[in-house]
Amino acid sequence: MKDKKWKAFLDGLFEDKFAGVITDILKINPSKRLSDVSPDLREDFLKLMIEFRFEIIGTLDFKDSMATAGGADVREVNPETFESKIVKDLYLTGELLDIDGDSGGYNLHFAWTSGYIAGQSAARRQ
């Protein structure tokens, strides 16, 4: 561990660009060995990790978005089958509906679950 380089230490802990920002703020040479990083600098690193603040100045374009909001109104589907209340035999699932969750698996979970339920419901109607 003590022969490990600073950059290698940050690999896996942080995304590359963020690791670069931290390294720049602390003014550490990325190829410095961990054993050569002074106790003061280690303390600064810990403090920075606890107190790091940044201002969000904008978002990326729609093409880079992770979830889409604004599909069909959820009140227009039967929540037990995901069949449209307006058009018979039409099933709306996932992001076709106006549902979006925080990042962390909720959107995929909803897409799969609603798709499964809609598929089962449609098959039962045959």
Ligand X SMILES: Cc1cc2nc3c(=O)[nH]c(=O)nc-3n(C[C@H](O)[C@H](O)[C@H](O)COP(=O)(O)OP(=O)(O)OC[C@H]3O[C@@H](n4cnc5c(N)ncnc54)[C@H](O)[C@@H]3O)c2cc1C
Smallest gap from Cβ 6 to ligand X, in A, equals 29
Which CB, 23 or 107, lies closer to ligand X? 107
Which CB, 35 or 103, lies closer to ligand X? 103
Which run of H or of E encompasses 20? helix 16-26
Which CB, 67 or 122, lies closer to ligand X? 67
Residue closest to ligand X, measured at CB: 94
Smallest gap from Cβ 42 to ligand X, in A, equals 33
Q: Which residues contact 91 (CB under 8 A, 6 or more apart)?
A: 77, 81, 82, 83, 84, 118, 121, 122
Q: Biggest alpha carbon distance in the chain?
A: 72
| 3-class DSSP state of 11 | strand
- By CB under 6 A, name the binding residues for ligand X: 66-67, 94-95, 103, 105-108, 111
- Amino acid letter at 77? V
Which CB, 39 or 105, lies closer to ligand X? 105
